[in-house]
């Protein structure tokens, strides 16, 4: 029964992840976010178009798109999940992130997946949650230090698999042989987030990246 539920959850995760909250918020204010600033439908571009308040609301909603499917899946898996359950759990998160990046409602042209990815990380308790909080703190420190949202996202993503590996090494009841799927998925997630910021990386190198408001 649990396996059957886990097999169907990724579908709902993708559909939820596809809900373009940034686009919808901007549209309700008479703005097509795809024609403003960077053209991205995420919280950063929304903030540039409508202000910080709306950016924070969008960030929270995009985060919940990732967190809620993971919490739902976590209620289904066993206390000490088998690797097959871990993979299905991770598949739910991957589906939510894919929905945000490739939303079915906007012809598969979406955002970068940072907020939704953070939601996925925070929702996979306890394995990802603590290191996810640490990476979020790193993102905040980078943002307030250099004022670049993209740079904070890139550094936070790069640190995620590193911090997770350290966490697994420290917790006595955890082992790399049992939890290696989590490390593999963390690495893929980090690469995906960094890849989605390839244009921002070019702008950072050229000194043309726009700072946060």
Per-residue pLDDT tens over the stretch 26-69: 999 999 999 998 899 999 999 989 999 999 999 999 999 999 99
**Phi/psi class of residue 42: alpha, beta or left (left: φ > 0; alpha: ψ in -120 to 50)?**
beta
Q: How far apart are CA 41 and CA 26, in angstroms?
A: 9
The Cα–Cα gap between 152 and 43 comes to 14
Instruction: Provide the sign of the torsion angle of the four alpha carbons 137, 155, 170, 82, taken in this order.
Output: positive
Q: Is residue 167 situated within a structural domain?
A: yes
Residue with tokens 């919940």: 64
Q: In this predicted structure, what is the pLDDT of residue 38?
A: 86
Judge whether 22 lies within some domain.
Answer: yes
**What is the mean pLDDT for each group of 10 consecutive residues in the chain (213 residues)?**
76 96 96 92 93 95 97 86 89 96 94 94 95 95 95 96 97 94 96 94 94 76
CA angle 9, 10, 13 (to 5 degrees): 90
**What pLDDT is recorded for position 147?**
93
pLDDT tens profile 13-23: 999 999 999 99
Residue 126: cis peptide before it, omega within 30 degrees of 0? yes
Structure confidence at residue 1 (pLDDT):
57
The model scores a pTM over 0.85: yes
Buried-exposed string 115-148: b where 16+ CB fall within 10 A, e elsewhere: bbbbbbbbbbeebbbbbbebbbebbeebbeebeb
Is 32 part of any domain? yes
- For position 186, what pLDDT does the model report? 96
In the chain, how many domains are there? 1
Residue 211 resides in a domain: no
Please state, as a whole number, how many other Cβ atoms lie within 10 Å of the Cβ of residue 17: 32
Q: Is residue 213 part of a domain?
A: no
Q: Look up the domain containing 113 and give its range.
A: 2-206
Residue 212 belongs to a domain: no
Query: Is the Cβ–Cβ distance between 29 and 111 less than 8 Å?
Result: no
Residue 6 lies in a domain: yes
Tell me the HSE value of 95 on the side-chain side, using a 13 A CA sphere: 21
Q: Take residue 52 and report the two structure tokens written for it.
A: 């910080």
């Amino acid at each position: 029964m649990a396996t059957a539920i886990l097999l169907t959850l990724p579908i709902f995760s993708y559909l939820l992840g596809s809900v373009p909250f940034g686009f919808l918020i901007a549209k309700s204010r008479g703005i097509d976010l795809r024609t403003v600033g960077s053209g991205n439908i995420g919280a950063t571009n929304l903030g540039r178009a409508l202000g910080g308040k709306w950016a924070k609301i969008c960030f929270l909603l995009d985060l919940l798109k990732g967190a809620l499917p993971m919490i739902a899946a976590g209620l289904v898996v066993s206390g000490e999940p088998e690797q097959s359950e871990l993979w299905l759990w991770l598949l739910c998160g991957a589906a939510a992130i894919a929905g945000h990046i490739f939303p079915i409602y906007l012809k598969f042209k979406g955002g970068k997946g940072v907020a939704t990815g953070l939601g996925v990380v925070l929702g996979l308790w306890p394995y990802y949650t603590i290191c996810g909080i640490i990476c979020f703190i790193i993102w905040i420190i980078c943002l307030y230090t250099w004022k670049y949202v993209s740079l904070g996202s890139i550094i936070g993503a790069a640190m995620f698999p590193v911090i997770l590996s350290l966490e697994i090494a420290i917790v006595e009841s955890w082992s790399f042989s049992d939890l290696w799927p989590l490390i593999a998925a963390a690495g893929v997630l980090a690469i995906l987030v960094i890849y989605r910021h390839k244009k921002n990386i070019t702008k950072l190198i050229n000194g043309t990246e726009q700072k946060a408001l």
